[in-house]
Amino acid sequence: MKSYTYAIGWSKTNVWYYGVRYSSKMYVGDIWKTYFTSSNTVKEYVKMYGNPDIIKVTRVFETVDDGIAHESKFLNKVKAWTNPFFLNCHNAPAFPWKSFDKNSMHIPKVKEKMIRTKKIQGLIKFLRNRKWKPSRNKNLISRIEGYISLMEGREKRCDKIEKLLRKRLELCVNYTRKPYPKNRKSNSRGKIKAISDSKIGKRAYTCQETKIVKMFGPDDSIPENFKKGMVKKTPNNNTQETRKKISEAMVISRENESDEKKKQRLKKYHETLNKRRLSCET
């Protein structure tokens, strides 16, 4: 696969951008025709100052690696990272990051170093977590054991961290969950929310004679008079009889109503109608 390097410039501001182009669908000279660079800084600069007036293809290469190597050499020569006349953000070679032939992440020393730094970052977050609580979770215990093995054989400064991790590991291993609290409202620590009887496993039963409601569990002995279910003490007002009574009372009250009260009632009624109409129109 071929590649080529290009240069883009604005003559008014004397600002430049140097890059490399490689793709299976590309052709030499497609810069600023179908390809408009992958840099976000260039896109922002175009919004401010318009399209570049200088567009050049500097060199063409037969392989991708040669093009990336030439780009990094040129950027290091010009010091593009610190140069105010270049929009390039770094002097390093283009993605994928390559040291001319090899990807640096495939080098074992670099890979080990990156894994170690990520583990140390996770350890710092774990130690700074103030809301940490011990538990018998296997993932948490294995995580702490991994941090201890990372701290072993290090400097004397890490002895305190290792001791702290070992204490936390002991708390997790010897941790015993407290029994589920019964239906109560207070404790030696303070107030606890009352737990509903349904969570414990109790169900409601009503007496047919007295209509008293009591809660019984699955192991409790239930008397003969009690049946499963709960009777509502509040009356149901949404029946036909209650509606008839309310409508009759309204008719009687409006017959004996004075003229002033009637006017006030009609005013309120028309105001509400107008508000509804306006809301529907908007």
Select from 121, 97, 100, 122 the least CA-distant residue to 110: 97
- pLDDT of 52 higher than 90: yes
> Where residue 101 falls among pLDDT bands split at 50, 70, 90?
very low
pTM reported for the whole predicted model = 0.37
Q: What is the 3-state secondary structure (H, E, C) of the chain?
A: CCEEEEEEEECCCCEEEEEEEECCCCCCCCECCCECCCCHHHHHHHHHHCCCCEEEEEEEECCHHHHHHHHHHHHHHHCCCCCCCECCCCCCCCCCCEECCEEHHHCHHHHHHHHHHHHHHHHHHHHHCCCCCCCCCHHHHHHHHHHHHHHCCCCHHHHHHHHHHHHHHHHHHCCCCCCCCCCCCECCCCECCCCCHHHHCCEEEEECCCCCEEEECCCCCCCCCEEECCCCCCCCCCCHHHHHHHHHHHHHHHHCCCHHHHHHHHHHHHHHHHHHHHHHHC
Most confident region among 40-49, 157-166, 199-208 by mean pLDDT: 40-49
Q: Tell me the β-bridge partners of 3.
A: 22, 61
Q: Which of 53-67, 97-111, 172-186 has the lowest mean pLDDT?
A: 97-111
Check residues 186 and 53 and name the one with the higher pLDDT.
53
Q: Residue with structure tokens 């538990």?
A: 135
What would the two tokens of residue 14 be?
């004397």
Predicted pLDDT at 65: 83
- pLDDT of 193 higher than 60: no
